[in-house]
Amino acid sequence: MCLFCEIIAGNIPSTKVYENDKVYCFNDINPAAPTHVLVVPKKHFDDIRDMASSEEGREYMGEVIKAIDEVAKIRGLDNGFRVINNCGPDGGQTVMHAHYHVIGGVKLTEKMI
């Protein structure tokens, strides 16, 4: 099992922020901002391309979007936040289980784009 599959299975501890039957959301171990939550589909997909390639993956993507909204509400990110997906080696992905960083709780000033 990959690292995030182990976390989802409860074999590796994590700090849960939100969960439903399709997604698990937990604090990043190395936060980049006051809120840094990883939104992770409970089914293993390698990356966003893998999620896009099947009907099931696209259904999970819809669940990811809803979970991002839940996390933002739970954390009170009413003034906005940032969502980041690193895809593949050139995108800087280090854990090869698709996930979405929800970052906020501070005005984010460093912008690449």
Residues at the site binding ligand 5GP, with contacts judged by CB under 6 A: 3, 12, 14, 26-30, 86, 92-95
Question: Which residue from 2, 29, 106, 108 is in contact with Zn ion, where contact means CB under 5 A?
Answer: 2
Q: Which does 35 bind (CB under 5 to 8 A by kind): ligand 5GP, Zn ion, none?
A: none
Has 97 been annotated as catalytic? Answer: no
Q: Alpha helices of the chain — where are they, by DSSP H?
A: 3-9, 48-52, 55-74, 88-91
State the minimum distance, in angstroms, from the CB of residue 67 to Zn ion.
Answer: 16
Among 70, 96, 94, which Cα is nearest to 81's? 70
101 interacts with Zn ion by CB under 5 A: no
Instruction: Answer whether 103's CB lies under 8 Å from 35's CB.
Output: yes
Q: What letter represents residue 78's amino acid?
A: D
